[in-house]
Amino acid sequence: MKKIIIKFIISSIAISGLLWSCNPDKLTDINYSPNVPSDPQTALLMTNALRGISGVVNSQTPRLYTQQISETFYTQASRYFDQIFDYSGTYNGALEDLTLIIKLNSDDATKSAASVLGGGSNANQIAAARILKAFYFLNMTDRWGDIPYSEALKGLEDVTPKFDAQQAVYTDIFKELTEAVAQFDAGTLKGDILFSGDISKWKKFANTIKLVAALHLSKKDPATGKAKFNEALAAGVISSNSDNITYKYLAESANENNVYNNYVVGKRYDYAISNVMVNKLNSLTDPRLAVYATPTNAGTYVGMPYGLVNGSGYSAGTVDNLPTSAGNISLIGSKFRQQNSAVAIYTYANILFCIAEAYKLGWIGAGPDDVNAAAKYLAGIQASMSEHGVTPAASYYTQTDVAYDPVNAIEKIMTQKWIASYAGYGYEAWTDWRRTGFPALTPTPNALNNPKVIPRRQCYTTSEKDLNLDNYNAVVASQGPDKLDTRVWWDKP
């Protein structure tokens, strides 16, 4: 029933948007439906836009790229068979909703309407929408590189938008995040399923996005990156595990965790923790392994080999008290596969690792600072351990592969960040690997792409070639071939 209600709400929003754009003087009684709202409800638009985060942060594709997980039987995705990824759903869904929120709250003809003010103050709705648009656009430009941006979301006014250079997109994202934080007022915000209308959390969200995005420029444009990083840090980012930003699923089928859906509803068990992750955690005697994975029927932890041609020799065993077969691999830990398991977007541990990296790069203070880098690195590991409710032996921190080393500091930081980001926002972990090369990952020898390398971007949807050919040809000429191994602007060797 809840699915039906949600679908009706979304349909109503879309239909009411069409009605809103028409001339009401030309509508007759036969056009009127008492079951369709006469004006878009901005609170519902905000809820719908926030629900779209789920597909972005809980995608399995980047977790496969970074080899945190493996496919168990159908292994094409982990062998990089999929090249074309469609972003039209984001443009036509969440981004369109957010654009409409901004329009309705800005237009003198609509901003005082009850259907608009029901979503909170005009300023707060606009600010939150700008932040969320920045989050979506950052994800998209990091995946595809140059994207439709300045000419996008204009409806019939421009159906063939140009592709903006990634550098220009980043510049505007930084601007939007800075201005949005300053725009909030003392009013309310409704329809907010991410922070329940807490404006202070929205500000931290914006500053955290800005800090993370700034670090993406560590090789390509370190001067800009350093400036924006310190702006964000001074403005206030995540500062404890209680600040962790997560997408919260519900214990209901209308909004459930997709790993739960795959394991329990679909009984497919398509994904398991990878042997790459298990082997790393085992080598460190890392107590997070018991949280990240379930033991095999033999009581051991065995990761699924990554990128096999066929995984038919491996089986799942018992999952959530449902017997399947004699299991010889470990599945994703139960913490991450309940119906209402939240998925981490940005965590305190991840931000501490960002700050540790910034100290090592010399972005904070007068130059590279190994003392503070080491302290933040250690704090990041401790925050991750605390987040998952485990306590390692004291010797964990002093072993060679964990102890901070000024010579290999970036590798140490990024490896622990990779471990800490397990089952979280995979596209951010993939970005970290692309820009630093750590942890050191080996592409599967069974790769289906050419050349056989871990993807460095995703290819544009086919509709760009079909409907926007001139601009598609222009972006390929500028950015490079529309292939998985083409590097985006900030991805400097």
Phi and psi at residue 94, to the nearest 5°: -60, -45
At residue 210, what is the residue type?
A: K
- Can you give the pLDDT at residue 321? 64
Which tokens sit at 126?
A: 């606009």
Residues 179-211 as b/e (b if ≥16 CB within 10 A, e otherwise) read ebbeebeeeebbbbbbbebebebbbbbbbbbbb
Does 163 score more than 80 pLDDT? Answer: yes
Q: How far is CA 34 from CA 8, 17, 38, 256, in A?
A: 14, 15, 9, 32
Does 351 score more than 70 pLDDT? Answer: yes
Q: Do the Cβ atoms of 421 and 428 come closer than 8 Å?
A: yes
Bridge partner list, 344: 246
**Mean pLDDT to the nearest integer, 138-163:** 97
Max CA distance (Å), the chain: 78
Name the pTM for this structure. Answer: 0.92
Does 7 score more than 60 pLDDT? Answer: no
Which residue did the predictor score with more confidence, 91 or 32? Answer: 91
Q: How far is CA 128 from CA 185, 191, 195, 233, 243, in A?
A: 11, 11, 11, 20, 18
pLDDT bin (cut points 50, 70, 90) of residue 39 is: confident
Q: What is the pLDDT of residues 290-317, one digit of tens each?
A: 999 999 988 999 999 999 998 778 887 7
At residue 113, what is the residue type?
A: A
Q: Which of 99, 127, 113 is nearest to 187 (CA)?
A: 127
Q: What is the pLDDT of residues 406-447, one digit of tens each?
A: 999 999 999 999 999 999 999 999 999 999 999 999 999 999
Does 5 score more than 50 pLDDT? Answer: no
Phi and psi at residue 458, to the nearest 5°: -120, 155
Q: Which of 409, 388, 376 is nearest to 286 (CA)?
A: 388
Hunting for tokens 């439709």 — which residue is that? 148
Q: Do the Cβ atoms of 106 and 113 come closer than 8 Å?
A: no
Does 286 score more than 60 pLDDT? Answer: yes
**In this predicted structure, which of 26-35, 63-72, 205-214, 261-270 has the lowest mean pLDDT?**
26-35
- Can you give the pLDDT at residue 326? 63
Rounded Cα gap, residues 144 and 162, in angstroms = 14
**Mean pLDDT to the nearest integer, 37-56:** 93
Rounded Cα gap, residues 113 and 93, in angstroms = 23
Q: Which of 186, 81, 85, 169 is nearest to 133 (CA)?
A: 169
Angle formed by the axes of helices 409-420 and 426-436, nearest 10°: 170
Q: What is the pLDDT of residues 378-392, one digit of tens each?
A: 999 999 999 999 999
Does 334 score more than 50 pLDDT? Answer: yes
Which residue did the predictor score with more confidence, 79 or 493? Answer: 79
**Topology, domain 347-441:** Four Helix Bundle (Hemerythrin (Met), subunit A) (1.20.120)
3-state SS assignment for residue 425: coil
Cα 68 to chain centroid, rounded: 15
Residues 434-472 as b/e (b if ≥16 CB within 10 A, e otherwise) read bbbebbeeebbeebbbeeeebbbbbbbbeebeeebeebb
Which residue did the predictor score with more confidence, 15 or 56? Answer: 56
> What is the residue extent of each domain of the chain?
253-336, 347-441
Q: Which of 260, 268, 272 is nearest to 330 (CA)?
A: 272
